[in-house]
Amino acid sequence: MKRAHDAHMPRAKPLAFGQVYATLGRLQRDGLVAEGDRDRDAGPERTSFTLTDAGRARLDEWLAEVEAPAPFVSSELLAKVVVALLAADSRRAGAYLAAQRAAHAARLRELTAAKLDPESALGDVIAADFAISHLDADLRWMETTIARVNELQQGVPA
């Protein structure tokens, strides 16, 4: 399961083996998966699991659930800008934003190159598109915020 996750979502945070085993244990306990074949293909023994009918029904329910947008703004990027404005000054906030913008732009270039690579798997391209969209939104916010900080430095009301 871990290898399949990491192969299909290579740009996602890798799963920890312990997390996989704990989750499989709960799924099995709840009757959502059943032990399948055991295999020892050139390595340690591996157990495969299959979805039960109840597991398939729960998967269908989960896939039909809409993810609610986050109710609160929670971002270390936002927190650092606000703290820089409150605890330091607008110049410090502007300097931080400029440095962060450069880091975001560099990551955007990396993801774009990975996405355009003809050898990239579909999972890589989808993950890159997702990350690029979020980075684009962050960059737009940073541009707006840099303009506001510059206005603050010049004494223009934001």
Domain layout of the chain by residue ranges: 2-64, 76-153
The tens-digit pLDDT sequence of the chain (158 residues) is 777 777 777 767 788 888 888 999 999 999 999 998 887 777 777 888 899 999 999 999 998 888 887 776 778 888 888 888 778 777 888 888 889 999 999 999 999 999 999 998 888 899 899 999 999 999 999 889 888 888 877 876 65
The angle at the Cα of 134, spanning 15 to 16, to the nearest 5 degrees, equals 5
Q: What is the pLDDT of residue 156?
A: 65
Q: What is the CATH architecture assignment of 2-64? A: Orthogonal Bundle (1.10)
For residue 97, the tally of other CB atoms under 10 A from its CB is: 22
Look up residue 50 and give its amino acid: T
In angstroms, the CA 23 to CA 148 distance is 46
Quote the strand ranges of the chain, DSSP E. 33-39, 46-51
pTM of the model as a whole: 0.67
Q: What is the pLDDT of residue 1?
A: 73
